[in-house]
């Protein structure tokens, strides 16, 4: 039924069901690529050779969740995702295999929670193998943000940053634990074992929730392995791949790989693959 002539037509009220962002903030995030050059890491987290920045985690957490919702990271490392979740008013749940990394994350999260005081959301971090997620009595999550190892690339001779870390007496790999995904030498087995972890993540996420995986294609033995694309295909067996955002690092130094001999790029970008657990159709 149309309103009487001369009366103003009421504007349609839009309800933001996904996050707490303004329309301007929402549109800004929809850009398919972004540049992020985070500050140098604190000394306390330097032992982790593959940490991703809290600034990145905050961007994705504030887009894919509302305050008070629960964020999961099954491969938590030194706690980037969990730290960002707490800092933005979300609950945080994580799992980390390496006891040393788990201890660093626990200390960081406890310190942040103390700073936040009574306003601190609940958080929980378990030192356990992500392959056993469904045995850990974890609560249902509203979002998952994580970054798996980039295969066994940290063990590749001459890998970027190895020389500097060796000079500073820092670990070159995650661990020597046989259960560490970063120690799997066979590529196909690695993809399948990581995929099996995300099968369990699927069971822990509520219907309609999103999953973001930060990953990179890798080079080894004079060839490129499309790790991001292979994981996208494997995870697509359970989730729907919705899109990608490309994280660009334009402050990295260029190296003359293959100079005057062969094409070898300087790879200074990562894929942030966004999946969704679709709601079941009635």
Q: Where are the domains of the chain?
A: 44-253+261-276
Share of the chain above pLDDT 90, in %: 67
Sheet of 269-276, strand order: 33-35, 240-248, 269-276, 205-215, 141-146, 70-73, 91-96, 123-127
Q: Which CATH class is domain 44-253+261-276?
A: alpha beta
CA distances from 45 to 6, 50, 124, 212 (A): 65, 10, 19, 22
Given a cut of 90, whether residue 281 has pLDDT beyond it is: no
Given a cut of 90, whether residue 76 has pLDDT beyond it is: yes
DSSP one-letter code for 140: P
Summarize pLDDT for 179-195 with one digit per residue, the tens.
Answer: 889 889 999 999 999 99
Summarize pLDDT for 195-239 with one digit per residue, the tens.
Answer: 999 999 999 999 999 999 999 999 988 899 999 999 999 999 999
pLDDT given for residue 178 in this prediction: 78
| 96 neighbors 197 (Cβ within 8 angstroms) | no
Count CB neighbours of 72 within 10 A: 28
Q: Which is nearest to 161 in space by CA: 253, 86, 271, 91?
A: 253
Q: What is the mean pLDDT of the chain?
A: 87
Q: Is the pTM of this model over 0.85?
A: yes
CA distances from 271 to 6, 52, 149 (A): 53, 12, 13
- Beta strand pairing status for 205-215 and 269-276? antiparallel
Q: Give the lowest-confidence range in 41-45, 63-67, 179-183, 187-191.
A: 41-45
């Amino acid at each position: 039924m149309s309103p009487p002539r001369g009366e103003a037509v009421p504007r349609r009220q839009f309800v933001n069901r996904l996050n707490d962002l303004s329309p301007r903030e929402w549109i800004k995030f929809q850009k398919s690529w972004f540049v992020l050059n985070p500050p140098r890491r604190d000394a306390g987290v330097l032992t982790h050779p593959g940490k991703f920045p809290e600034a990145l985690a905050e961007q994705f957490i504030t887009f894919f969740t509302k305050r008070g919702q629960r964020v999961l990271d099954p491969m938590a490392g030194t706690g980037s995702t969990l730290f960002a979740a707490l800092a933005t008013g979300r609950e945080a749940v994580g799992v980390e295999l390496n006891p040393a990394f788990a201890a660093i994350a626990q200390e960081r999260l406890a310190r942040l929670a103390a700073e936040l005081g009574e306003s601190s959301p609940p958080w929980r971090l378990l030192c356990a193998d992500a392959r056993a997620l469904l045995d850990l009595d974890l609560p249902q999550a509203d979002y998952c943000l994580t970054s798996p190892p980039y295969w066994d690339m940290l063990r590749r001779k001459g890998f970027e940053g190895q020389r500097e870390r060796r000079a500073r007496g820092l670990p070159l790999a995650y661990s020597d634990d046989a259960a560490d995904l970063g120690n799997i030498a066979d590529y196909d087995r690695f993809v399948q074992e990581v995929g099996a972890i995300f099968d369990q993540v699927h069971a822990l996420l509520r219907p309609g929730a999103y999953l973001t995986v930060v990953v990179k294609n890798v080079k080894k033995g004079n060839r490129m392995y499309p790790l991001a694309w292979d994981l996208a295909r494997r995870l697509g067996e359970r989730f729907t791949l919705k899109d990608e955002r490309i994280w660009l690092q334009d402050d990295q130094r260029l190296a003359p790989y293959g100079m005057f001999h062969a094409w070898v790029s300087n790879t200074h970008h990562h894929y942030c693959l966004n999946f969704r657990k679709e709601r079941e159709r009635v």
